[in-house]
């Protein structure tokens, strides 16, 4: 079934930084989902072939040197279409009508976000931005500070909460091929501290997210690792300046 005409009113933003290993599969999966959608890649000084891949596949490329929070906010500022989607460069969409479903769901006035979940995951949590569709009009003005390099979803969730809008989660929508695992817990902890300050509610919320992520994997090894992941998260939370920028290492 072909995508609907409504997907012409959607811009997909892909934030990249040395994403050549996964970017082509990501962009091709977007094109498979809809050929009527504009794709904009916001690249942070990639030293690999990320920009070449994006241009070869027909995406608009915008360069920046600030960070991920700045790139997300730039997407909000640039978007001229009614709907906006974030697709991370290490995500591959496998549900071909995901965007059609998302736009249909956002037609309900009480819904403000549609999240695509990884294949096999059954526990929804937070508001992951790896595959996320929003109404552009709900995110006018400053939303995400440029100082943020992770946990940008904190600010998106806050805007949705202030607007009284709910989120819809779509199962088996994509495959996540994470490139950066080393120091990721510390990185997330540091940026949670930068985003939310010293807030016990965020620490409890993160503990729940870590548990649900490990249960989604259905891997005994990952479930056993969850407490250690959380301890590393707390390490970054306590030392935000040391861990705020993720080292690009596997």
| pLDDT tens digits in sequence order for the chain, 250 residues long | 334 456 689 999 999 999 999 999 999 999 999 877 899 999 999 999 999 999 999 999 999 999 999 999 999 999 999 999 999 999 999 999 999 999 999 999 999 999 999 999 999 998 999 999 999 999 999 999 988 888 899 999 999 999 999 999 999 999 998 766 678 899 899 999 988 899 899 999 999 999 999 998 889 998 999 999 999 999 999 999 999 887 654 3
Give dist(CA 137, CA 160) in Å, integer: 12
Using CA atoms, how far residue 9 sits from 5, 6, 82, 131, 135, in Å, is 8, 6, 6, 17, 10
Dihedral (Cα; 188, 170, 120, 182), 10-degree rounding: -20
Closest CA to 2 of 37, 39, 41, 38: 37
The verdict on 71 and 146 lying in the same domain is yes
How many helices, marked H, and strands, marked E, lie in the chain? 9, 8
Q: What is the pTM of this model?
A: 0.90
Give how many domains the chain has, as a whole number. 2
248 domain residue, yes or no: no
| Sole residue written with tokens 């990249």 | 16
Could you tell me the residue range of the domain that residue 224 belongs to? 184-243
The verdict on 162 and 239 lying in the same domain is no
E runs forming strands in the chain: 10-16, 38-44, 60-64, 83-87, 91-93, 111-118, 131-135, 166-176
């Amino acid at each position: 079934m072909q995508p609907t005409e409504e997907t012409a009113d959607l811009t997909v933003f892909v934030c990249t930084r040395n994403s050549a290993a996964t970017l082509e599969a990501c962009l091709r999966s977007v094109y498979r989902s809809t050929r009527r959608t504009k794709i904009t890649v916001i690249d942070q000084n990639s030293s690999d072939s990320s920009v070449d891949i994006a241009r070869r596949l027909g995406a608009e490329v915008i360069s920046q040197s600030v960070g991920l929070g700045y790139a997300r906010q730039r997407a909000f500022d640039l978007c001229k279409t009614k709907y906006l989607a974030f697709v991370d460069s290490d995500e591959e969409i496998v549900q071909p009508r995901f965007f059609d479903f998302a736009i249909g769901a956002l037609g309900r006035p009480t819904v403000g976000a549609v999240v695509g979940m990884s294949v096999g995951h059954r526990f929804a949590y937070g508001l992951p931005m790896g595959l996320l569709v929003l109404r552009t009009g709900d995110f006018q003005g400053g939303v995400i500070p440029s100082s943020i390099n992770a946990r940008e979803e904190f600010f998106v969730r806050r805007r949705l909460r202030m607007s009284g809008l709910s989120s819809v989660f779509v199962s088996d929508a994509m495959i996540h091929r994470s490139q950066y695992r080393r120091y990721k817990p510390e990185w997330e902890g540091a940026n949670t501290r930068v985003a939310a300050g010293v807030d016990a509610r965020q620490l409890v919320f993160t503990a729940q997210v870590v548990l649900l992520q490990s249960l989604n994997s259905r891997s005994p090894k990952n479930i056993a690792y969850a407490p250690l992941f959380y301890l590393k998260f707390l390490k970054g939370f306590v030392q935000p300046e040391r861990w705020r920028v993720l080292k690009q290492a596997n």
